[in-house]
């Protein structure tokens, strides 16, 4: 099938899907009526590719760490001695003339040198700023990209662009595309999970559209896990109802729906029965996921967390637990990088909340042999200006830094560069579409061939753009 277009794959799937889902559901029903108390296998969405990948996959899953607010590349991964030299002097107009600008509109533009020292680490010599106290220990495992550029200069559209490949609302997010294409390896949990934390800077809002499935079916929407209240909305029983009491309700619903299915030929009934089974099991598996008491003290210490308390470190641990349980796309947001003022202290504060968790995640995945098939992406929606905004920095889209690690990524490397002042990406420029193309490539998908027809057009995550970044590949 490798040379066939995706639409053929889809049609093949649908061809047996006509009976396909029916067969699954029938099996499910029979199991249930024979042994109502045993667990019943829910038909798992096999992905529209149905196991027939376009190429060999290097990674099975993605953990995408969104540094929301716009992490300054100049305080983290992109060392610019020249900018330090020009600190306090006027930014050469040749850089900024005619360029889009956010809060610095109509202000005098002055250079602000990087606020932290940089140091080379490991055999690779990957260069990190001093605010990363832990990350240096895995510097040889990550690939830094210093030449990412994006197209939207305000938070909300920039996140939308990073997640969906366009700034127009209503298109599917990366996680939805991937669960649509590949399904998930779990029957008990959603395939696309979102976890959030904040701290270290002002909390820019995050919209649920960032994990929306757009025009893809809603089942591919990201499910937002919360650290307070119900971990998944409505996952807890009503007050006064215990698991047995709830089981009575669910079982009765299933039986009555089955009776209905015997008199009405409606394929949705069997689907609904299976979805109630999954819902009931999620009611147990979600709390099980969130309950980290089965982790060793060494693991807890590695992450520096006491349990699922909503911190970034705890979310990194949950990301690993979700990865183990077969989730396809796990996205963490940390809201705290919007440093318009005091970029020096604030970047350090935010990094403190991130550093140990991300480092622990990499180490933990390695010790569990999961690092090689887990693709980690660590990225903001944009970077920050080399120009000062007081003692902070404004939004910047023309060149900034991210890193990738794990499945299929070349370890211990740095790709691309910005100019001397950290303004424009000038070497091996990577667009957001390129990043998407590379991610899909590593998951075994040709980004040009996974499409979905909507409003008469074949849409894809990379729109009409995107090239795989070969230098990032192992």
> Binders of other proteins among 136-195, rule CB under 8 A?
153-157, 167-170, 190
The contact pattern for other proteins, residues 19-58, with x = CB under 8 A and - = no contact, is xxx-----------------------x-------------
Where does residue 326 fall: left (phi above 0), alpha (psi -120 to 50 degrees), or beta otherwise?
Answer: left
In the complex, minimum distance from the CB of residue 78 to other proteins, in angstroms, rounded to a whole number: 22
Q: How far is CA 331 from CA 224, 252, 297, 465, in A?
A: 9, 36, 25, 23
Which range touches other proteins (CB under 8 A), out of 108-116, 131-139, 354-362, 455-463?
455-463
205 forms part of the interface with other proteins (CB under 8 A): yes
Instruction: For residues 318 and 290, give the distance between their C-alpha atoms in angstroms, rounded to a whole number.
Output: 7
Instruction: For residues 405 and 403, give the distance between their C-alpha atoms in angstroms, rounded to a whole number.
Output: 7
In the complex, minimum distance from the CB of residue 211 to other proteins, in angstroms, rounded to a whole number: 11
209 forms part of the interface with other proteins (CB under 8 A): yes
Give, rounded to a whole angstrom, the gap between the first and last alpha carbons of the chain: 26
88 forms part of the interface with other proteins (CB under 8 A): no
233 forms part of the interface with other proteins (CB under 8 A): yes
Site for other proteins in 287-306 (CB under 8 A): none
CB closer to other proteins out of 8 and 30: 8
CB closer to other proteins out of 233 and 474: 233
The contact pattern for other proteins, residues 96-135, with x = CB under 8 A and - = no contact, is --x-xxxx-x------------------------------
Instruction: For residues 380 and 395, give the distance between their C-alpha atoms in angstroms, rounded to a whole number.
Output: 11
In the complex, minimum distance from the CB of residue 448 to other proteins, in angstroms, rounded to a whole number: 6
Q: 15, 81, 125, 390: which one contacts other proteins (CB under 8 A)?
A: 15
257 forms part of the interface with other proteins (CB under 8 A): yes
Q: 448, 465, 467, 471: which one contacts other proteins (CB under 8 A)?
A: 448
Q: 271, 299, 391, 424: which one contacts other proteins (CB under 8 A)?
A: 271
284 forms part of the interface with other proteins (CB under 8 A): no
309 forms part of the interface with other proteins (CB under 8 A): no
3-state SS, one letter per residue, for 378-422: EECCCEEEEEEECCEEEEECCCEEEEEEECCECCCEEECEECCCC
Where does residue 56 fall: left (phi above 0), alpha (psi -120 to 50 degrees), or beta otherwise?
Answer: beta
The contact pattern for other proteins, residues 333-372, with x = CB under 8 A and - = no contact, is --x-------------------------------------
424 forms part of the interface with other proteins (CB under 8 A): no
Instruction: For residues 23 and 125, give the distance between their C-alpha atoms in angstroms, rounded to a whole number.
Output: 56
In the complex, minimum distance from the CB of residue 443 to other proteins, in angstroms, rounded to a whole number: 19
Site for other proteins in 390-409 (CB under 8 A): 394-395
* Angle at the Cα of 394 from the Cα atoms of 392 and 397, rounded to 5 degrees: 140
456 forms part of the interface with other proteins (CB under 8 A): yes
Which range touches other proteins (CB under 8 A), out of 27-35, 277-285, 324-332, 412-420?
277-285
In the complex, minimum distance from the CB of residue 12 to other proteins, in angstroms, rounded to a whole number: 8
Q: 128, 131, 142, 269: which one contacts other proteins (CB under 8 A)?
A: 269
Q: 87, 248, 309, 470: which one contacts other proteins (CB under 8 A)?
A: 248
In the complex, minimum distance from the CB of residue 437 to other proteins, in angstroms, rounded to a whole number: 14
In the complex, minimum distance from the CB of residue 136 to other proteins, in angstroms, rounded to a whole number: 31
CB closer to other proteins out of 162 and 302: 162
* Burial of 248 (C-beta count, 10 Å sphere; 0-12/13-18/19+): exposed
Enumerate the β-bridge partners of residue 64.
Answer: 331, 377
The residue assigned the tokens 């147990």 is 284
In the complex, minimum distance from the CB of residue 223 to other proteins, in angstroms, rounded to a whole number: 7
Instruction: For residues 426 and 419, give the distance between their C-alpha atoms in angstroms, rounded to a whole number.
Output: 6
280 forms part of the interface with other proteins (CB under 8 A): yes
Count of residues of this chain found to bind other proteins when the rule CB under 8 A is applied: 96
In the complex, minimum distance from the CB of residue 8 to other proteins, in angstroms, rounded to a whole number: 9
């Amino acid at each position: 099938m490798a040379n066939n277009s995706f639409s053929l794959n889809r049609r093949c799937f649908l061809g047996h899907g006509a009976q396909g889902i029916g067969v699954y559901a029938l099996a499910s029903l029979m199991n249930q009526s024979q042994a109502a108390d045993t667990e019943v296998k829910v038909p798992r969405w096999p992905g529209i590719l149905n196991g027939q990948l376009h190429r060999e996959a290097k990674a099975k899953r993605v953990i995408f760490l969104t540094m929301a607010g716009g992490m300054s590349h100049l305080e983290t991964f992109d060392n610019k001695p020249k900018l330090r030299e020009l600190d306090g002097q006027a930014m050469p107009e040749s850089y900024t003339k005619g360029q889009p600008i956010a809060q610095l509109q109509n202000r005098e533009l002055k250079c602000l040198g990087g606020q932290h020292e940089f140091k080379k680490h490991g055999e690779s010599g990957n260069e990190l700023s001093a605010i990363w106290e832990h990350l240096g220990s895995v510097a040889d495992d990550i690939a830094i990209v210093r030449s990412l550029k994006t197209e939207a200069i305000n938070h909300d559209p920039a996140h939308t662009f990073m997640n969906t490949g366009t700034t127009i609302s209503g298109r599917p997010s990366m996680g939805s595309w991937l669960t649509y294409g590949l399904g998930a390896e779990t029957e008990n949990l959603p395939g696309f999970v979102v976890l959030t934390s904040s701290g270290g800077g002002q909390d820019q809002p995050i919209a649920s559209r960032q994990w929306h499935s757009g025009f893809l079916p809603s089942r591919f929407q990201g499910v937002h896990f919360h650290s307070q209240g119900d971990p998944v909305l409505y996952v807890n029983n009503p007050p006064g109802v215990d698991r047995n009491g709830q089981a009575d309700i669910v079982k009765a619903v299933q039986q009555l729906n089955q009776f209905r299915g015997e008199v009405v030929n409606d394929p949705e009934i069997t689907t609904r029965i299976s979805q109630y089974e999954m819902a009931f099991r999620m009611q147990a598996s979600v709390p099980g996921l969130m309950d980290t008491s089965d982790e060793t003290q060494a693991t807890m210490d590695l992450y520096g967390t006491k349990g699922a308390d909503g911190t970034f470190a705890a979310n990194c641990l949950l990301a690993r637990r979700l990865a183990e349980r077969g989730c396809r796309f796990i996205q963490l947001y940390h809201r705290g990088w919007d440093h318009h003022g005091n970029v020096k202290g604030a970047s350090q504060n935010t990094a403190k909340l991130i550093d140990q968790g991300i480092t622990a995640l990499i180490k933990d995945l390695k010790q569990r042999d999961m690092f090689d098939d887990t693709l980690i992406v660590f990225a903001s929606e944009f970077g920050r200006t080399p120009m000062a905004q007081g003692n902070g920095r404004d939004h910047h889209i023309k060149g900034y830094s991210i890193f990738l690690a794990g499945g299929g990524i070349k370890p211990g490397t740095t790709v691309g560069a910005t100019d001397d002042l950290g303004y424009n990406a000038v070497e091996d420029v990577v667009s957001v579409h390129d990043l998407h193309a590379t991610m899909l490539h590593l998951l075994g998908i040709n980004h040009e061939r996974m499409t979905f027809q909507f409003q008469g057009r074949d849409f894809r995550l990379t729109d009409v753009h995107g090239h795989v970044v070969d230098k990032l590949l192992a």
